[in-house]
Amino acid sequence: MKVLLAAPRPLLQARFRETVVALLLCSSQAWAADEIQVYTDDINEPGKAALELHTNYVVEGRKVANYEGELPPHHVLNINPEFSLGLTKRVELGLYLPMAYDVGNSTAYSNGVKFRVKWLNADNPADLYYGVNFELGRTPLRVAEDKWNAEIRPIVGVERGLWAVAFNPILGFSVSGSSQKPEFEPAIKINRRISGDVAVGVEHYAGLGVIDHLSPARQQSHATYLVTDFHAGGFDFNLGLGRGWNEGDDKWTLKLIIGGIPLGK
């Protein structure tokens, strides 16, 4: 859900941009680990190119690798530029170039590349929208055990007055590994607009295990984020603080998404 606000004066615009830079330097990792986002009704207009910047930082997280060669997420900053291009009214292409910075070791990494295509029907009556996003990516061992991975993300949502709900029942699976059974990773977002330019809400992300044999509750992943969405200085912001609930989850994570960055005229 996009919230509109009149553009501030040049001085305020400069300060907003300074704030953006400061937030990128001090707060920003995702858990898998390049974006923490519930897809809603956003899609580029035909021919429009844009940039969205996903950043997140695990303040307190897992310090032990789950497999040999993995980079544990504790104190790792992820910055993931997402370039997108609208092809038609309902089809959009995207390219991710994820990067990571290990604060403890003062080391920067490139985390591969991901491509995506999204189909979205967001012009229905009754404020209902639905669609699907498909991603294919190549990642190094420090991110995933298998080099090639894919994701199918159905998108469904509704807006009613001040309230909005979006649900992504995600299926993630390995393309190059020995097992291609999809993992079920649902995500949901519920938010309420509290003024013309600000909305607050909750996002929940789960990793429930293999789709045909879900993991026991204690072995699942669950993280809940308190978030705010707002439009300021010509940009769209999604800012959140997340708490992991199970033993293997990262306990505290900060995330910041900056959208609405135009590329070209």
Say what the pLDDT of residue 127 is.
Answer: 87
Dihedral angle sign, alpha carbons of residues 157, 92, 113, 229:
negative
Say what the pLDDT of residue 180 is.
Answer: 75
Ramachandran sector of residue 11 (left: φ over 0; alpha: ψ -120 to 50; beta: rest):
alpha
Say what the pLDDT of residue 3 is.
Answer: 37
Pick one of 2.60.40.10, 2.30.40.10, 2.40.160.40, 2.40.50.100 as the CATH number of 10-262.
2.40.160.40
Say what the pLDDT of residue 264 is.
Answer: 75
Say what the pLDDT of residue 265 is.
Answer: 65
Can you list the residues of the chain whose pLDDT is less than 50? 1-13, 15-32
**What residues does each domain of the chain span?**
10-262
